Amino acid sequence: MDYIINGIIEALKLLVSFNRELYEIIFLSVFVSSTATLISSIIFIPLGLYLGIKNFKGKKLFSRLLYTLMSIPSVVVGLLVAILLSRRGPLGFLELLYTPTAMIIAQSLLVTPLSLGLSYNLSKNRGKKIERVGITLGARGVKIIFLLIRELKIDLFINLVTVFSRAISEVGAVMIVGGNIKNRTRVITTSIAMFNSMGNYSTAIALGLVLLAISFIINSLIYSYHQEDY
Amino acid sequence: MKRILSILLVSLLIIGGLVGCSNNKAQSDTGKRIILATTTSTRDSGLLDYILPNFEEETGIKVDVIAVGTGKALEMGRKGEADALLVHAKPSEEEFVKEGHGLYRKDVMYNDFVLVGPKEDKGNLKEKSPRDIVKGLRLIAEGNYKFVSRGDDSGTHKKEKALWEEAKVKPEGEWYLSSGSGMAQTLKIASEKQAYTITDRATYLNLKDKLDLEIIIEKDDRLFNQYGVIPVNPDKNENINNKGAEKFIEWLLSEETQKQIGEYGKDKFGMPLFVPNAK
C-alpha cells in the first residue's frame, strides 16, 4: 500500500517542481492532439455540415459506415500509418516513422471520422431549418455553410472538444507510429504505459493526474457553454 | 418458468462452490500455476515458448509469463507479485537476494550482446573496432551517429549504461534516442532510423529477417549476458506459490532442460541462442 501513497506524493512533487521532462511530455501531447484536431476539423467540419443538409443517393448507407468508422480502434489506425510510413512501405522515402509528424498524421486520421460524423449528424438534424431560412434571405452555396457554422457554433465547439479529448487520450496509434522516444515522441499516454512497465509509479501517477486535469478542464468548458445555451 | 430458473441458479451455485473447493485443495499442494516475471528477451527470442510446454505437461503447473524489463521484474518480486524471476542483471539480482526479497539466486544460462547497425555502417566501426565494444561506442559518440537505447531500466539497458561509463562518454544529444521500449520495438526503431543499438543476440537473430540491420561488433568479453533464476521470498504474502516456484527452478536447472536450452535455435540459426551453464 505504501508505494501507492508514496507514488502520489512523489507525483505531486514532480508537478510542482516543474520537472522539465514531465512538462515536455505534456506539451507534446497537447501539441500533437490539438494539431490533429485542427487539421481534421478545418477540412471535415464544413464537409460534414454540407453532407448533412444535402440529399444524395445512399445517404443511409453512408451514415452507417461513418458511424462505424467513428469508433475505429486507435491501434488499427496506428498499424495502417506505420505500414505506410515504414522504410519498406510505400511512403518510406519520407522517413517519417517515429517522428511527431507521424503521430499527427495518425491522430488526424483517427479523429477524422469523428469530426465528420459529429458535424454531419448535427447538420442532418438541425441544418435543414437554418438552410431554409438562409435561402429565404438569399444565401447560396458556401454562404449557407458559413451560416450553418455561425448558427451552430456552440455545438460545433463541443464537437471540437470531443474530438480533441479522443485524440489526447488514445495510446495505441501514437505508441505504434511514435515509438515513445525520449524527448522526441513521448506523450502522456505512452509514458504512462512505459513508466508502469518500469515500475516507476510516481511519474506514471503524475502524468495520469495531468491527463485527468485536462479532461476536467475540457468538460468544464463544455458544461459552461451548455449553460449559456439553455 | 421461474421455478426452472431458480433450480438452474441453485445448481450453478453448488457446482461453482464444488469447483472452487477442489481448486483450493489443489492450490494447497503445489498450486495450479506460478507467475514467472522475466525479461522481454526470453519471450521475444521464443525460448520460453519452446521449453515451457514440457514443464506444464510434466507437473500440471501452468506458468504465467510476464515479460517486462529486468527493473520491473525485480520490482514485481519486491512487491510479491511474482513467484519466480528469470532475469539478467547479476549485481541487481544479488542485491535483491541480499535484501531478503528472494531466497537464493542460481545461474541458468548465458547469451551475449552484440552491437548491430545499418548495413552501410556509417561510422565504419566494423573495420575500426570489430571486437572492442567500448572503443566502438566512443566512435559512435564522437561521430554523432544515431544510437537507439532501450532506456527502460531493463537488464540490457543496465548493461549499455555500464558500457558507456566504461567508455567515459555521457550519451546525450540529438544522436542518442531513448526508446523506453522492449528489445523487439527498439530494434525496429533502430532499423527504421538506420541507427546503432545494443541487443542480445537471441532477439536479434529471431527478428533478423524483418530488420535492415547487421552485426557490427561482437565477441567482446564485456558483452557477456548471464541469466539467473530467483524464487521470491514466500514471507511477502500468502499468495506466493513457493512450492511451485521451487519445482520450476528444479526443472529449469535439471540436466534434461539444460540440454534442451542448449539446442534451441540450432536448426534455425546454426547456433544455439542460449548456452546453459547451471551448476
> Tell me: the pLDDT tens digits for B14-72?
666 555 544 444 444 457 889 999 988 888 888 999 999 999 999 999 999 988 888 88
Q: Which of B72, B189, B191 is nearest residue A198 as measured by Cβ atoms?
A: B72
Is B179 in contact with A182 (Cβ distance < 8 A)?
Answer: yes
| A128 neighbors A54 (Cβ within 8 angstroms) | no
CA end-to-end distance (rounded Å), chain A: 46
Residue B165 has pLDDT above 70, yes or no: yes
pLDDT value of residue A1: 66
Cα–Cα distance between B61 and B32 in angstroms, integer? 5
Q: Is the ipTM of this complex over 0.85?
A: no
Q: Chain A contacts of B194, Cβ < 8 Å?
A: 87
Q: Which of A157-166, B2-11, B261-270 has the highest mean pLDDT?
A: A157-166
Residue A178 and residue A187 in contact, taking contact as beta carbons nearer than 8 Å: yes
In chain B, residues with a C-beta closer than 8 Å to the C-beta of A186 are: 180
Question: B191 in contact with A at a CB cutoff of 8 Å?
Answer: yes
* Eight-class DSSP state of B102: B
Chain A residue numbers with beta carbons less than 8 Å from the beta carbon of B69 are 197-198
What single-letter amino acid sits at B117? G
- CA pair distance A164, A178, nearest whole angstrom: 18
Please tell me the predicted confidence (pLDDT) of residue B26: 41
A21 interfacial to chain B (CB closer than 8 Å): no
Average pLDDT on B270-275 reads 86
Quote the crossing angle between the two packed helices A100-136 and A153-169, to the nearest 10°.
160
| DSSP H/E element including B135 | helix B133-143
Beta-sheet pairing, B214-217 with B147-149: unpaired
Give the pLDDT confidence score for residue B28 in this predicted structure. 42
CA distances in angstroms from A185 to A37, A40, A99, B250, listed in the order given: 18, 21, 6, 44
CA distances from B220 to B114, B196, B217 (A): 9, 17, 8
Pairwise CB contact (< 8 Å): B193 & A198 = no
Closest approach of B92 to chain A, Cα-based (Å):
15
In terms of C-beta distances under 8 Å and separation of at least 24 residues, what long-range contacts does B6-9 make, across chains too?
Answer: none
B181–A87: do the CB atoms touch at under 8 Å?
A: no
Asked if B69 has any chain A CB less than 8 Å from its own CB, the reply is yes
Partner B contacted by A1 (CB < 8 A): no
- What is the predicted pLDDT for the residue at B18? 56
Residue B230 CA, chain-centre distance (Å), reads 13
| Torsion angles phi and psi, residue B69, rounded to 5 | -70, 160
Q: What is the pLDDT of residue B257?
A: 95
Q: How, if at all, do strands B33-39 and B196-200 pair?
A: unpaired
**Model pTM?**
0.76
Residue B196 main-chain phi, psi, to 5 deg: -85, 155
- Domains identified in chain B and CATH numbers: 32-110+226-276 (3.40.190.10), 111-224 (3.40.190.10)
Chain A, nearest residue to B77 by Cα? A199
Identify the DSSP state of B232: B
Distance, in Å, from the CA atom of B223 to the CA atom of B160, rounded to the nearest integer, reads: 9
Which domains are present in chain A?
1-228 (1.10.3720.10)
| Nearest chain A Cα distance for residue B52, angstroms | 23
Give residue B2's pLDDT.
Answer: 65
> How high is the mean pLDDT of chain B?
88
Q: State yes or no: pLDDT of B254 exceeds 90.
A: yes
Distance CA B88, CA B90 (A): 6
Distance (Å, whole) CA B24 – CA B22: 5
Residue-by-residue pLDDT tens, chain A, 230 positions: 677 888 888 888 888 998 898 999 999 999 999 999 999 999 999 999 999 999 999 999 999 999 999 999 999 999 999 999 988 889 988 989 999 999 999 999 999 999 999 999 999 999 999 999 999 988 888 899 999 999 998 899 989 999 999 999 999 999 999 999 988 999 999 999 988 877 788 889 999 999 999 989 888 887 787 766 55
pLDDT computed for residue A219 by the predictor:
83
pLDDT at site A88? 83
Cβ–Cβ gap A180/B179 under 8 Å: yes
The proportion of chain B whose per-residue pLDDT surpasses 70, expressed as a percent, equals: 90
Scan for cell 532477439, then name that residue: B203
C-alpha angle B66/B200/B194, rounded to 5°? 110
Chain A residues inside the 8 Å CB shell of B178: 181-183
pLDDT on residue B269: 81
Quote the pLDDT of residue B43: 83
**CB B193 to CB A183 under 8 A?**
no
**Chain A: closest CA distance from residue B196 (Å):** 15
Q: B107 - beta bridge partners? A: B228
What pLDDT digit, counting tens, does each position of B105-124 carry?
999 999 889 999 999 999 99
Asked whether the beta carbons of B158 and B41 are under 8 A apart, the reply is no
Q: Which residues on A lie below 8 Å from B79 (Cβ)?
A: 3
Is the CB of residue B185 less than 8 Å away from at least one CB of chain A? yes
Task: Please work out, in degrees rounded to the nearest 5, the angle formed at the alpha carbon of residue A207 by the alpha carbons of A205 and A209.
Answer: 70
The span from the CA of A139 to the CA of A136, in Å, is 7
How many angstroms separate the Cα of B27 from the Cα of each of A75, B20, B31, B143, B263?
Answer: 38, 11, 4, 58, 33
**What's the rounded Cα separation, in Å, for the pair A99 and A205?**
25
Which residue from B265, B147, B274 is spatially nearest to B217, judged by alpha carbons? B147
- What gap in Å lies between CA B20 and CA A81, rounded to an integer? 47
